Chains A and B, each alone.
Chain A
Amino acid sequence: MEAVNWLLINGANAVLWLWGLVKSLFVTLFGALDTVLDPVLSPVFAVLNPICTAIGDAVYAVLGPLPVWLGLTVLSALTGVVMLVAFRYVSNQTAIGRAKDDIKANLLALKLYKDELRVTFQAQGRLLWAVLRLQRYVLTPVLVMLLPVLLGLAQMGVRHQWRPLHPGEQTLIRMRLAEDAGNPIEVQLEPNAGVVAEVGAVPGGGELVWRIRGGKPGRHALRFNTGGHVIEKELVVGTDFQRVSAARVGPDWTGQLFHPAERRLPGDGPIRSIEITYPGVDSWIYGANWWVLYFFVISMAVALLLKPLFRVRF
């Protein structure tokens, strides 16, 4: 019994150690990737983001008269159709069809010849191979769609993830500083009609924090003065549905991707990012985090329904 316990405990430890190793490998790999990709992709997003934001504003202006949930539904459905058509033309439909046929054939072989263990194993092997082939054929459309989908999702994110600060509502502004920014650093939040600064700036942990309260409704540009050098950050106060930029980030391509509504911060300055902790949109359909799921379900359902019409196999 003791031997079994020993085996179980040490086995579990070994698995955990292995998992930790894999995780750290991934972190290292992605960290290294960022170092390589930031200089390449950051200028790209600097160009793309204003264009996408303009398109996003136009689309949401068209959807504006509709209730938010309906607008999201229409947008999700349209995205489903566009993605479906794109998938059809970008993917190798013949090869996908063949791989899918192989998958189904081998699944049926498992059912038909269930008493033949040899056939069961053979079918499983072939099934695995067909699955891998299908993944390989799906990779091309995935890669082609990846960028437009991410840009689109980012545009939706800045509208559905957070809501504007209500007048009088409290929140925090966090300014992350560069490691070589020098210590202490003086930053002044200039007075603005949209905000009442209650506390701050409070330094700590490589960042400065302000506690603020929402002021006059509207779209305001907060100005942060660092020794004569002024950095702006947009603040939205109001009660209606509108675009909200939760952060203005530096030349970090992933940050730029998901916070596309404002220009990137200069890379050589002392400030890495300025974040406003907006409250999440409160809705089970189009609210924070739920909108992704809703979008996912609607676009999937539309794609599935229209698949025969567009003669797409996936």
Chain B
Amino acid sequence: MHDRRLARRTIVLALFCTLMWQDYAHAYIGPGAGFAVGTTLFAFFMAFFSGLAAIFLWPIRWFFRFLRGRRAHARARVKRFVILGLDGMEPTLAEKYLAEGKMPNLARLKEKGSYLRLGTTLPPLSPVAWSTFLTGCNPGKHNIFDFLTRSKRNYLPALSSVSIRGASRSWKVGPYRIPVGKPDIRLLRRGKPFWNVLGEHGIFSNIIRVPITFPPERFRGALLSAMCVPDLRGSQGTFSYYTTRAEGEDDYIGGERIHVKCKDSVIRSHLVGPENDIRRNGGPMRCPFEIIIGDDGEAILKINGQTHSLEKGRYTPWIRVEFKAGLGIKIRGICEFLLLATEPEFELYVTPIHIDPDKPALPVSYPSVYCTYLSKMLGSYATLGLAEDTWGLNAGILDDDGFLHQCLEADTEREKMFLDALDKVRRGLCVCVFDGTDRIQHMFWRYIDPQHPAHDGQSQQQHRDAIGELYLRMDELVGRTMQTCDDQDTVLMVISDHGFNSFRRGIDLNFWLEQNGYLRLKPDGRDKKYLAGVDWSQTKAYCLGLAGIWLNVQGREAEGIVDPKQADGLRDELCEKLTGLRDEEKETQAISRAFNAHKTYHGPYRTEAPDIIIGYNTGYRASWEAAIGQPTGELFHDNTKAWSGDHCIDPKLVPGVLFCNRKIKTAKPRLMDLGPTALAMFGVEVPSHMDGKPLAVADADGSFPSTGDGLREQTDTSGVEKREAVGV
């Protein structure tokens, strides 16, 4: 055996020496091998010279920064500021698990530093809250009030944070239409993120998956976008459900069913991709695939020339798919397949097709190579803003396991990115937001709320303690984060943008408006989606989205009838009537407070907000129908969907959490204070337009810096008391 190995090695060595020696061979060893050798040598030289350049340029860079008066870190109280965002971590649950000793890492953080409830925003929705976090401003200054806004021209819903349009010009060549320039992607969120301000002072930031950062803005650092990054079809996530089953719905919210036929154990179908903008009247692009069903409930998937095995109940890894537009142009995406059943009917679930981070079709990071870097470093990962498919579970296509897999996978991917950023960035800002906390609580709250309409008969379910396990997992994540932040010069904050509560009953505010004479339906207008059934000539107010009610104002809405001079009076009138609205069937208050947005917010965009923001009471929220502008014939609807927890209620009922490894003297911190706090910790002056104030955070030795630098202390409420409850 040993002799054979020796002989083999000798031959290898001899051949290798020959390769290095001979006349022709030294120049050529085949195209593949030749390229591989060539590229690796190139890479090596690139690395060597860039390293050399970095060493030589570093003092020059430092000198120029010094000359510009932006000597980074010169006045900083910390070297590194780390913010770990756990979207939707509920303080009452966190406190419960802390008291039970189930979260030792967060307990340690609390003991060593601080734990406080964190004031959220009005409305306490993630896009609003995280926009406030990153700009340090109330929503009136950043223009995000909900996931959706409405078109003033046609009342149709539109994404509030981003507008995506194709390139404005194109060349027509035969059947093709070649776009000239890039797609027009506009961030509708206003205000400057605090990391941009840090960047202007030479401080580097690494920002991972903070919501409402798409499209990514230019700044000094690296950023991976999150919420509102679309899937490849341009939607906020459209799953596909392939089945041979004849009966059932064809359309789901956030998904579609595709009927397939099985012939000789083979199923042929296609993935639906984005619209083909290259071909005139091209329609959606398709990526064909074939599934060969085996005898044992397994199957073989053939797609894009690759073969993958499918196992019932088990997701595939991320699979790269290509959509051919023509002229050699391909759009690349990634998705996962989940074989649900092969008999008696075939059922296959495919996740929304995410933008491939390796070769992104749209910019999902700044700089654009950052997403590629992460993909090369860590493998494929979810890029869709709302990566976890809540709609699939809501529609009953996915079961709890299928949904949890997506949440856990997204969190695992995120953690790798976060730990990589912590390893790379030793001076500067690191922010990473984990969404699993939000998604799992949305979908599994029914298990911890015995009064929830979807709770019955489910107490024995396998995942009844999914939320408890989630909190424990997050505590472990905090533990691993603390290990990388255990130096004296790092401030670590663990925060949530809002808390959580039960969503037992939905309120159809369009029905309420109709009942109270503010909204009129066309004769056949009931149950029509997207306000299509509303008679605008006799409608003063309408509900769309989760946040509140819009007035139909003359000169603002296309068919507005409310005199702008009377609009404020109408707002007050509606607020008065809606505040304290009761659910007589349940003998409880359904709406805690209603807010006149024009009086609550301040800033140039307050007029873009829904006119009335509703603060629902515990257990209530806008109904599913109200959210999509579908007037029904009932005010209250039991929520029997898996989406059973929510936070779009009165902000005082769902504060977030703030853990910090340093003492904090401010009694009532708000989400909007965190950006200014980071600026202050780095010795950067807080811009005057920011509404937030730096929190009084202790130095590493436990002492607090002198007051007078704008810090909010326990006694300094500076108007906060009045506004803290609504986060503005």
Q: Which residues of A approach B to under 8 Å, CB–CB?
A: 29-30, 33, 36-37, 80, 83-84, 86-88, 91, 96, 100-121, 123-124, 127-128, 130-131, 134-135, 138-139, 141-143, 145-146, 149-150, 153-154, 157, 254, 257-258, 292, 295-296, 299-300, 302-304, 311-312, 314
Total contacts A-B at CB 8 Å = 174
Residues in A with CB closer than 8 Å to B24 are 150, 153-154, 157, 258, 292
Cβ of B35 and Cβ of A303 under 8 Å apart?
A: yes
For B57, the closest partner residue in chain A by CB is: A114
Cβ of A300 and Cβ of B33 under 8 Å apart?
A: no
Cβ of B15 and Cβ of A84 under 8 Å apart?
A: no
Query: What are 18 contact pairs spanning A and B, CB under 8 A?
Result: A30-B21, A87-B31, A91-B32, A107-B46, A110-B50, A112-B369, A113-B425, A116-B427, A117-B55, A119-B424, A123-B47, A124-B47, A139-B16, A143-B16, A146-B15, A146-B18, A149-B25, A292-B27
Residues in B with CB closer than 8 Å to A135 are 36-37, 40
Residues in A with CB closer than 8 Å to B21 are 30
Distance (whole angstroms) from the CB of B53 to the closest CB of chain A: 9
Residues in B with CB closer than 8 Å to A104 are 372-373, 376
> Chain A contact residues: over half helix, strand or loop, or mixed?
helix
Cβ of A300 and Cβ of B25 under 8 Å apart?
A: no
- Which 6 A-B pairs rank lowest in CB-CB distance, beginning with the nearest? A87-B32, A303-B31, A105-B376, A108-B373, A105-B377, A314-B32
Cβ of A141 and Cβ of B14 under 8 Å apart?
A: no
Given B23, B36, B376, which contacts A108 in the complex, CB threshold below 8 Å?
A: B376
Given B25, B32, B40, B376, which contacts A84 in the complex, CB threshold below 8 Å?
A: B32
B222 in the interface (beta carbon within 8 A):
yes
- Beyond the given A103-B39, A104-B372, A113-B424, could you list 8 further A-B residue pairs with CB under 8 A, ordered by the A residue number? A33-B17, A100-B39, A112-B222, A112-B370, A113-B204, A115-B58, A141-B30, A314-B35
B367 in the interface (beta carbon within 8 A):
yes
Cβ of B29 and Cβ of A105 under 8 Å apart?
A: no
Q: B90-124 CB contact bits vs A (8 Å, 1 = yes)?
A: 00000000000000000000000000000000000
Distance (whole angstroms) from the CB of B237 to the closest CB of chain A: 27
Cβ of B51 and Cβ of A110 under 8 Å apart?
A: yes
Given B31, B54, B306, B377, which contacts A117 in the complex, CB threshold below 8 Å?
A: B54
Given contacts A108-B372, A117-B58, A292-B24, contact A141 B15 (CB under 8 A): no
B22 in the interface (beta carbon within 8 A):
yes
Q: How far is the CA of A165 from the CA of B531 in the complex (A)?
A: 91
Cβ of A120 and Cβ of B425 under 8 Å apart?
A: no
Interface size of B by Cβ–Cβ distance < 8 Å?
A: 54
Q: How far is the CA of A296 from the CA of B35 in the complex (A)?
A: 11
Cβ of A110 and Cβ of B54 under 8 Å apart?
A: yes
Given contacts A29-B17, A108-B376, contact A153 B61 (CB under 8 A): no
Cβ of B47 and Cβ of A138 under 8 Å apart?
A: no
Q: How far is the CA of A150 from the CA of B676 in the complex (A)?
A: 68
Distance (whole angstroms) from the CB of B423 to the closest CB of chain A: 8
Q: How far is the CA of A157 from the CA of B179 in the complex (A)?
A: 49
Cβ of A300 and Cβ of B47 under 8 Å apart?
A: no
Given contacts A105-B373, A105-B376, contact A87 B43 (CB under 8 A): no
Cβ of A303 and Cβ of B51 under 8 Å apart?
A: no
Q: How far is the CA of A202 from the CA of B598 in the complex (A)?
A: 111
Residues in A with CB closer than 8 Å to B40 are 103, 131, 134-135, 138
Distance (whole angstroms) from the CB of A52 to the closest CB of chain B: 14
For A298, the closest partner residue in chain B by CB is: B31
Q: How far is the CA of A113 from the CA of B370 in the complex (A)?
A: 10
Q: How far is the CA of A177 from the CA of B714 in the complex (A)?
A: 103
Given contacts A101-B376, A131-B40, contact A87 B33 (CB under 8 A): yes
Which residue, B24, B30, B376, B427, has most C-beta atoms of chain A within 10 A? B30
Which residue, A36, A84, A115, has most C-beta atoms of chain B within 10 A? A115
For A306, the closest partner residue in chain B by CB is: B31
> Chain B contact residues: over half helix, strand or loop, or mixed?
helix
Q: How far is the CA of A30 from the CA of B426 in the complex (A)?
A: 51
Distance (whole angstroms) from the CB of B21 to the closest CB of chain A: 6
Cβ of A145 and Cβ of B44 under 8 Å apart?
A: no
Q: How far is the CA of A145 from the CA of B36 in the complex (A)?
A: 14
Given A37, A102, A128, A296, which contacts B376 in the complex, CB threshold below 8 Å?
A: A102
Given contacts A33-B17, A108-B376, A115-B61, contact A127 B31 (CB under 8 A): no
Given A80, A102, A119, A121, which contacts B31 in the complex, CB threshold below 8 Å?
A: A80
For A76, the closest partner residue in chain B by CB is: B31
Cβ of A149 and Cβ of B29 under 8 Å apart?
A: yes
Given contacts A112-B373, A135-B37, contact A142 B47 (CB under 8 A): no
Q: How far is the CA of A33 from the CA of B25 in the complex (A)?
A: 17
B12 in the interface (beta carbon within 8 A):
yes
Cβ of B33 and Cβ of A124 under 8 Å apart?
A: no
B326 in the interface (beta carbon within 8 A):
no
B48 in the interface (beta carbon within 8 A):
yes
Residues in A with CB closer than 8 Å to B35 are 300, 303-304, 314
Distance (whole angstroms) from the CB of A142 to the closest CB of chain B: 4
Distance (whole angstroms) from the CB of B326 to the closest CB of chain A: 16
For A293, the closest partner residue in chain B by CB is: B27
Which residue, B21, B369, B376, has most C-beta atoms of chain A within 10 A? B376
Residues in B with CB closer than 8 Å to A106 are 47
Q: How far is the CA of A93 from the CA of B367 in the complex (A)?
A: 29
Residues in B with CB closer than 8 Å to A150 are 22, 24-25
Given A101, A128, A314, which contacts B33 in the complex, CB threshold below 8 Å?
A: A314
Distance (whole angstroms) from the CB of B324 to the closest CB of chain A: 12
B260 in the interface (beta carbon within 8 A):
no
B555 in the interface (beta carbon within 8 A):
no
Distance (whole angstroms) from the CB of A24 to the closest CB of chain B: 15
Q: How far is the CA of A254 from the CA of B19 in the complex (A)?
A: 12
Q: How far is the CA of A154 from the CA of B23 in the complex (A)?
A: 10
Cβ of A146 and Cβ of B17 under 8 Å apart?
A: no
Q: How far is the CA of A130 from the CA of B376 in the complex (A)?
A: 12
For B367, the closest partner residue in chain A by CB is: A112
Distance (whole angstroms) from the CB of B211 to the closest CB of chain A: 22
Residues in B with CB closer than 8 Å to A314 are 31-33, 35-36, 39
